[in-house]
Amino acid sequence: MPKPVLRGLIIVAFFALTAFALVPAFVPRPAFIPGFAPPPDMWPRTVSLVGIALGALALLFAVFRPHPDEAPIETDGSSPARMAGRFAGLMLAFVLFLVAIPLLGFLVSTMMLTLCIVLMTGERGHRIWIALLAFGAPILLQLFFHSALGTQFPKGVLTKPFGF
């Protein structure tokens, strides 16, 4: 499917979901509205309906007035499947990071995430810099924010006995 058509479909689907499913379910109307004040769902519903109209326009243009090809996105030449795999890996890293905070604490979790991200960028040289960035930078930042700004970073259930 051409990208402009897919884009139009995604836009219409997202705003339609919001207008017809999310707004009725998650924007409750109060029993009493003072004076002539519009209800709380008026604005999100209006924006969603405008969004549907814009998406439909984008879809129409994509189907009936095809533009010349959009500039390709610059990549390292990897296959789409490989890039999708990298994206999935990154999402997994983000989720694991959020899950790890209560278990391993903020410091250890950020160290793991940084190391993971550096390796995911394909960087294999500069080993000392990688180590400094993954292990040294989080310690420095935690010390700075804790001592200078008084931020209390969460300690992990598993790492609490070790002090972080």
Partner 1 sequence: MLNEILSALVAVATLQNLLIMIAGIWGGVIVGAIPGMTGTMAVTLALPFTFYMDPVPSILLLVALYKGSTYGGSVSAILIKTPGTASAACTALDGYPLAQQGKAGKALNMALYSSVTGDFISNLSLIFFAAPLAVLALRIGPPEFFMLMLFALTTVAGVSGSSLLMGLVSAALGLLLATVGEDMYGSFRFAFTPDMQAGLSIAPVLIGLFALPELIKLVVMRASKQEEAATLGAQHVTRAEFMGSLKTILKGSVIGSVLGAIPGIGPSSAAFFSYGEAQRSSKNGGNFGKGELEGIAASESANNGACGATMIPLLALGVPGDVITGVMLGAFMIQGLTPGPLLFQTNIHEVYMLLIGMLVSSVLLFFAGKATMRMFAKVSHIPPTLLTPLVLLLCIFGIYSIASSPFDVAVLLVMGVVGFGMFLLNIPAAPFLIAFILGPMLEENLRRALAISRGEPSVLLSSPITWVFAALIVFVLILTVRREILKSKTERRVAQ
Asked if 107 and 137 touch (Cβ cutoff 8 Å), the reply is: no
Q: Which is nearer to partner 1, 148 or 161 (CB)?
A: 148
Instruction: Tell me the closest approach of the beta carbon of residue 15 to partner 1, in angstroms.
Output: 7
Instruction: Tell me the closest approach of the beta carbon of residue 97 to partner 1, in angstroms.
Output: 8
Q: Which is nearer to partner 1, 20 or 27 (CB)?
A: 27
| Phi, psi angle pair for 30, to nearest 5° | -65, 155
Single-letter residue type at 123:
E
Tokens 């879809």 map to which residue? 59
CA distances for 85 relative to 7, 55, 81, angstroms? 22, 29, 6
Q: Which is nearer to partner 1, 70 or 157 (CB)?
A: 70
Instruction: Tell me the closest approach of the beta carbon of residue 95 to partner 1, in angstroms.
Output: 9
